[in-house]
Structure 1
Amino acid sequence: MTCQPSSLTTFSDGLWDAVAPTYQEILRHPFITGLVDGTLPREAFRHFVVQDSHYLRDYARALAVCAARAPDEEVTRAFAGDAVGAIAAEREMHAAFMADLGGSAEEAAAQPVGPTTRAYTSYVLATVYGGSFLDGLAAVLPCYWIYARVGADLLARSSPDPLYRRWIAAYGNEEFQETVRRVVALADRLGAEATEGQRARAAEHFRATARYEWMFWDAAWRRESWPL
């Protein structure tokens, strides 16, 4: 699928249309439905929190690279702030979740990085370092955008479990939604300036990391570990 900007369709419209089936599968995944109805096993959520702590450390590095390669100072400041925010989330929110789950941030840090987490972060880091700025932006965008969509959807439905309600509120709140709108608008601006080939390459990175988002939740649901 070629994502061409036009008077009727923006670059981001094409990106989202391409991953809409993946997003629907995310909403139907038992990890997500379990958050909403409160049936998600605590061990699955604990696995998610541990792996998300690992993920966010590398994701923050990827955002810092985006900041360094940004086309202007405003975008540099924005991505640098997002990188700091990712580290803050890893240190504060996840530490609080681990405490509620009877563990600690130190315990989470000592757990091995899982196969899906390693694959996802390696792909993102390789893309932000080795591709164009638009490639890197497309690779980091699903983590922003899919979490915002999932958060908004789950916020409307809430959860009977107070722990899961806190997680939902973190991504469904308006402050996070505004951050995501800013990044999507940047993708539209740069997509409009890019060639058809550049847009197509960026779209492929976007589709790949959107799939990794589904895989990340699935790995938590299965409590994935290395086979050997």
Structure 2
Amino acid sequence: MAFTDDVWQAAAGLRAAVHAHPFNQELAAGSLSRSAFAHYMIQDGLYLQGYARVLALGAAKAPAADEILAFSKAAEVAIVVERALHAGYLDQFGIDPRAAETATPTPACEAYVNFMLAIAVTDSFAVLAAAVLPCFWLYQDVGTAIAAKGAPGNFYQAWIDTYADENFAAATERMKGIVNAAAADAGPSERERMTAAFLRCAQHEWLFWDSAYHERDWPIKP
């Protein structure tokens, strides 16, 4: 089996928890509270700024031109394409995009971004590639599943369409191919770190949705 098949199977419990989370269940039904979704959109925008930096560092570490282009393009998409999605919802919520971009990251957002940045700085391209994959793959998986059962006239249809889109699926497949190629060249220790990074980032994805659903912030502020 390919490396991605192995880690996808290893993450079966995490994937089930992601799909079963009330954030995604209620988003599919269109019943998710607007307040929770606004909280999510603000934090997701902050996350994507960090994610784009991680992808840019991946481009710098990439071993060949194809990987450089893939990571560079993914960084661009994280900022340009998904910012457009956020802008539409923020406008409906009456939230100033500039205020959203300068908001304080929650513990869940900050922990996820810092974990990936640490890998980008201290570990190999292969481990970094495995770390960024859950953000592609889990969103594509969730978006596709919700699109198949989503309620008609869903307020969150634009979000669903973004991650159920065939172009996003194609980008996910490209990233999986990069990860599998890197894993094929990796030794046992590096493959173990790739697996650990993938699974930890999948856990961070669940925590991110959970934090948004409960609108969690720092419990103690200065």
Measured against the shorter chain, the TM-score band is over 0.9
Residues 2-45 of structure 1: per-residue CA shift (max 9 Å, x gap) = xxxxxxx1111111111111010010000000011111000000
Residues 126-171 of structure 1: per-residue CA shift (max 9 Å, x gap) = 0011100011111111001101111111111123453311100000
Confirm or deny: 8 A CA contact 1:91 1:105 kept in the other structure.
no
- 1:95 partner SS: helix
Confirm or deny: 8 A CA contact 1:57 1:90 kept in the other structure.
no
Counterpart of 2:118?
126
Matched, 1:98 2:74: no
Between the aligned partners of 2:82 and 2:176, the Cα distance in structure 1 is: 23
Between the aligned partners of 2:49 and 2:113, the Cα distance in structure 1 is: 9
Matched to 1:176, the amino acid is: F
Counterpart of 1:115?
107
Q: Indicate the percent of aligned positions where both proteins have the same amino acid.
A: 36
Which residues of structure 1 form unaligned runs of 5+?
1-8
Q: CA deviation at 1:197?
A: 1.3
Between the aligned partners of 1:153 and 1:104, the Cα distance in structure 2 is: 31
- 1:162 partner SS: coil
How is 1:128-143 mapped onto 2 (pairs within 5 angstroms)?
128-143=120-135
Equivalent residue for 1:215, pick from 195, 207, 210: 207
How is 1:12-91 mapped onto 2 (pairs within 5 angstroms)?
12-91=4-83
Of 200-209 and 190-199, more deviation after overlay is shown by: 190-199
Confirm or deny: 8 A CA contact 2:23 2:32 kept in the other structure.
yes
Confirm or deny: 8 A CA contact 2:85 2:158 kept in the other structure.
no
Counterpart of 1:168?
160
Between the aligned partners of 1:150 and 1:91, the Cα distance in structure 2 is: 20
Counterpart of 1:144?
136
Counterpart of 1:199?
191
Q: CA deviation at 1:91?
A: 3.0
Between the aligned partners of 2:198 and 2:116, the Cα distance in structure 1 is: 10
Matched to 1:44, the amino acid is: A
Between the aligned partners of 1:61 and 1:172, the Cα distance in structure 2 is: 24
Between the aligned partners of 1:127 and 1:159, the Cα distance in structure 2 is: 39
Structure 1 runs of 4+ with >6 Å offset: none
Between the aligned partners of 1:161 and 1:121, the Cα distance in structure 2 is: 33
Between the aligned partners of 1:70 and 1:34, the Cα distance in structure 2 is: 39
Confirm or deny: 8 A CA contact 2:29 2:154 kept in the other structure.
no
Between the aligned partners of 1:141 and 1:159, the Cα distance in structure 2 is: 28
Counterpart of 1:225?
217
- 2:156 partner SS: helix
Which residues of structure 2 form unaligned runs of 5+?
none
Matched to 2:6, the amino acid is: G
- 1:198 partner SS: helix
Of 180-189 and 50-59, more deviation after overlay is shown by: 180-189
Confirm or deny: 8 A CA contact 2:56 2:71 kept in the other structure.
yes
